[in-house]
Amino acid sequence: MFWTRLVSGIVLVAAALALILTGGDVLLFGLLFVSLVGMFELYRVFHIEKSLLGFCGYLAAALYYMDLRASFLLDSGMLMLGALIALMAVYVITYPKYKAEQVFAGFAGISYVAAMLSCIYQTRALPAGAYTVWLIFLCSWGCDTCAYCVGVLIGKHKMAPKLSPKKSIEGAVGGALGTVLLTLLYGFLFRAPMGLSYKGVILLAVIAAAGAVVSMVGDLAASAIKRNYGVKDYGTLIPGHGGILDRFDSVIFTAPIVYYLARAFLVAGL
């Protein structure tokens, strides 16, 4: 199990490196594929993965990504509202085939998985985005690693005992602080190519702190859904890690935080 998890983890990191370093359409379509798989995993929990509701969700996600590339819509919010109306139309036309929770799960797949993951592509497209985008993974996977190490060493007070008994408050604090320290190191190493002042490096660390906290929320949120519906793993795509949502649960939440804060502070030159 250890070697399976290690090898698949190395392959996953290599794939992420290839996609993000290449950027452009390769990253866009790579994220679309990951989003569709993640949506399928979420929809399977609600038994709509092969239904008309699921098809509406997949189509909306594809259109959303195409709009990121070609900008044929005035506002992406139009697509989100349109998708919700389409899902509701399916709900009422086929009533009582679907339950209300399945309809809202269909919409959650579009917003929670596809739209939030797309922020990786959008961060990559920012000025100095080739460097800033790694902050997303530093906040999620870096925080997770630091939290685990600190939790094992000194963790005593449970953070969410009913949801995740192994996670501790000490681990959470250690994860956030560890992420900030790693980001400061990263910022100073790449300050010149990113065009950052020393103040910019500090802002980078502040963004990382926010991203680290939100990444823990994402991790616990994905776990809560699984517990509510008696699911052990979302999928088996990544041996030893589970599915896309099992591995990217924190990344999904971290990506929009990093994107919007980086766009607001770093791109503005503050």
State the pLDDT at residue 267: 63
Residues 6+ apart with CB under 8 A from 136: 119, 120, 123, 211, 251, 254, 255, 258, 259
Euclidean distance between CA atoms 214 and 209, whole angstroms:
9
Would you place residue 2 in the very low, low, confident or very high pLDDT band (cuts 50, 70, 90)? very low
Q: Write b or e for each residue in 121-145: b if 16 or more Cβ atoms lie within 10 A of its Cβ, otherwise e.
A: bbbbbbebbbbbbbbbbbbbbbbbe
For 122-163, write each residue's pLDDT tens digit. 999 998 999 999 999 999 888 888 888 888 888 788 888 888
**If residue 155 lies in a helix (H) or strand (E), which one and from where to where?**
none
Mean pLDDT across the stretch 28-52?
A: 96
Q: Is 243 helix (H, G, I), strand (E, B) or coil?
A: coil
- 85 forms beta bridges with none
| HSE-CB of 84 using CA atoms within 13 angstroms | 8
- 160 forms beta bridges with 164
Q: Judge whether 198 and 189 are in contact, CB under 8 Å.
A: no
Q: Judge whether 38 and 108 are in contact, CB under 8 Å.
A: no
State the pLDDT at residue 83: 95
Question: Cα 236 to chain center, whole Å?
Answer: 18
Euclidean distance between CA atoms 257 and 71, whole angstroms:
22
Q: What DSSP character marks residue 74?
A: S
For 169-213, write each residue's pLDDT tens digit. 888 999 999 999 999 999 999 999 988 888 889 999 999 999 999
**If residue 142 lies in a helix (H) or strand (E), which one and from where to where?**
none
For 75-114, write each residue's pLDDT tens digit. 778 899 999 999 999 999 999 999 999 999 999 999 999 9
Report the mean per-residue pLDDT for the chain: 88
